[in-house]
Amino acid sequence: MAPNDNNPNTILSGVASSSGIALGRAFHVDRNVIQVPHHRLAPGTTEHELERLESAFVLSRHQLHEARIKLTGGDHLQILDTHIAFLEDPQLERNIRAQVTAKMINAEWAVNEVINEVASVFDRSEDSYLRERRRDFEQISQRLLANLMGLHQDGIEHINEPVILVAHDLSPADMAHINREFILGILTDIGGQTSHTSILARALEIPAVVGLESITREVKTGDLLILDGFAGRVMLNPSLELIDEYDTRRRYHLQVETELRLTRDLPTVTADGATIQLSANIELPSEIVALRTNGLNRVGLFRSEFIFLIGTQTPDEEAQYHAYREVVEGLGPNGVTTIRTLDLGGDKLHHEASALHETNPAMGLRAIRLCLARRDLFRTQLRAILRTSAHGKVRIMFPMISGIEELREAKAELESMRRNLREENIPFDETCEVGIMIEVPSAALIADLLAREVNFFSIGTNDLIQYMLAIDRSNEHVNYLFTPAHPAILRAICSIIDAGHHAGISVAMCGEMAGDPDYVMFLVGLGIDELSMTPHNSLRIKRLLSRFTMEEARQVAQHALTLQTSSEVSDYVITYVRTHYPEEFWVPDWCEDGPCLTRDPEREPMI
For the annotated catalytic residues, the residue numbers are 196, 510
Does residue 535 interact with ligand PEP by CB under 6 A?
no
Does residue 511 interact with ligand PEP by CB under 6 A?
yes
Please give the residues from 129 up to 168 whose contact with ligand PEP meets the rule CB under 6 A: none
Q: For residues 305 and 463, which CB has a smaller minimum distance to Mg ion in the complex?
A: 463
Closest separation in Å from C-beta 464 to Mg ion: 8
Please give the residues from 45 up to 74 whose contact with Mg ion meets the rule CB under 5 A: none
Q: For residues 236 and 368, which CB has a smaller minimum distance to ligand PEP in the complex?
A: 368
- Please tell me the count of residues contacting ligand PEP according to CB under 6 A: 10
Instruction: Please list the residues that pair with 227 across neighbouring strands.
Output: 22, 234
Residues 271, 581: Cα–Cα separation, whole Å: 13
Closest separation in Å from C-beta 459 to ligand PEP: 7
Q: For residues 82 and 338, which CB has a smaller minimum distance to ligand PEP in the complex?
A: 338
Closest separation in Å from C-beta 351 to Mg ion: 22
Residues 412, 422: Cα–Cα separation, whole Å: 15
List the single partner that 199 binds among Mg ion, ligand PEP, none, CB under 5 to 8 Å by kind.
none
String of DSSP letters for 359-385: SSGGGSSBHHHHHHH-HHHHHHHHHHH
Which x/- pattern over 258-297 shows residues binding ligand PEP (rule: CB under 6 A)?
----------------------------------------
Which x/- pattern over 376-405 shows residues binding ligand PEP (rule: CB under 6 A)?
------------------------------
**Packed helices 240-261 and 538-545: angle between N→C axes, nearest 10 degrees:** 70
Report how far apart, in Å, the C-alpha atoms of 378 and of each of 6, 349, 372, 485 are: 61, 13, 7, 35
Residues 67, 154: Cα–Cα separation, whole Å: 11
Q: Using alpha carbons, select from 129, 140, 138 the residue that is nearest to residue 192.
A: 129
List the single partner that 136 binds among ligand PEP, Mg ion, none, CB under 5 to 8 Å by kind.
none
Q: Which of 460, 484, 500, 525 binds Mg ion (CB under 5 A)?
A: 460
Which x/- pattern over 457-496 shows residues binding ligand PEP (rule: CB under 6 A)?
---xxxx---------------------------------
Please give the residues from 478 up to 517 whose contact with Mg ion meets the rule CB under 5 A: none
Q: For residues 413 and 463, which CB has a smaller minimum distance to Mg ion in the complex?
A: 463
Q: Using alpha carbons, select from 398, 278, 380, 400 the residue that is nearest to residue 323.
A: 380
Instruction: Please list the residues that pair with 506 across neighbouring strands.
Output: 456
Q: For residues 283 and 584, which CB has a smaller minimum distance to Mg ion in the complex?
A: 283
- The DSSP code for 33 is P
Segment contacting ligand PEP by CB under 6 A, of 321-329, 352-360, 417-425, 455-463: 455-463
Residues 281, 294: Cα–Cα separation, whole Å: 13
- The DSSP code for 36 is P
Residues 107, 101: Cα–Cα separation, whole Å: 10
E-strand ranges in 547-603 read: 589-591, 594-596
Please give the residues from 411 up to 450 whose contact with Mg ion meets the rule CB under 5 A: 439
Q: For residues 511 and 517, which CB has a smaller minimum distance to Mg ion in the complex?
A: 511
Q: For residues 301 and 526, which CB has a smaller minimum distance to ligand PEP in the complex?
A: 301
324, amino acid identity: Y
Q: How far is CA 560 from the centre of its chain?
A: 30
Closest separation in Å from C-beta 460 to Mg ion: 4
Instruction: Please list the residues that pair with 277 across neighbouring strands.
Output: 530
Segment contacting Mg ion by CB under 5 A, of 12-20, 178-186, 313-321, 463-471: 463-471
Does residue 463 interact with Mg ion by CB under 5 A?
yes
Burial of 96 (0-12, 13-18, 19+ CB in 10 A): buried
Closest separation in Å from C-beta 475 to ligand PEP: 15
Query: For the chain, what is the total number of helices (H) and then of strands (E)?
Result: 24, 18
List the single partner that 461 binds among Mg ion, ligand PEP, none, CB under 5 to 8 Å by kind.
ligand PEP
Closest separation in Å from C-beta 520 to ligand PEP: 16
Rounded to 5 degrees, what are φ and ψ at 558?
-65, -40
List the single partner that 510 binds among Mg ion, ligand PEP, none, CB under 5 to 8 Å by kind.
ligand PEP
601, amino acid identity: P
List the single partner that 511 binds among ligand PEP, Mg ion, none, CB under 5 to 8 Å by kind.
ligand PEP
List the single partner that 171 binds among Mg ion, ligand PEP, none, CB under 5 to 8 Å by kind.
none
For the chain, the C-alpha Rg in angstroms (whole number) is: 25
3-state class (DSSP) for residue 21: strand
Report how far apart, in Å, the C-alpha atoms of 279 and of each of 293, 507, 509, 546 are: 13, 13, 10, 16
Residues 343, 366: Cα–Cα separation, whole Å: 7
Which x/- pattern over 299-338 shows residues binding ligand PEP (rule: CB under 6 A)?
--x-x-----------------------------------
Segment contacting ligand PEP by CB under 6 A, of 172-180, 200-208, 379-387, 456-464: 456-464
Closest separation in Å from C-beta 493 to Mg ion: 15
Closest separation in Å from C-beta 454 to ligand PEP: 17
Q: For residues 461 and 537, which CB has a smaller minimum distance to ligand PEP in the complex?
A: 461
3-state class (DSSP) for residue 89: coil
Closest separation in Å from C-beta 365 to ligand PEP: 15
- The DSSP code for 182 is T
Q: For residues 233 and 298, which CB has a smaller minimum distance to ligand PEP in the complex?
A: 298
Q: Which of 343, 516, 529, 552 binds ligand PEP (CB under 6 A)?
A: 343
Burial of 73 (0-12, 13-18, 19+ CB in 10 A): exposed
E-strand ranges in 378-517 read: 393-398, 433-438, 456-459, 506-509
Q: Do the beta carbons of residue 57 and residue 144 sit within 8 Å? A: yes
Please give the residues from 410 up to 449 whose contact with ligand PEP meets the rule CB under 6 A: 439
Closest separation in Å from C-beta 443 to Mg ion: 11
The residue ranges that bind ligand PEP (CB under 6 A) are 301, 303, 343, 439, 460-463, 510-511
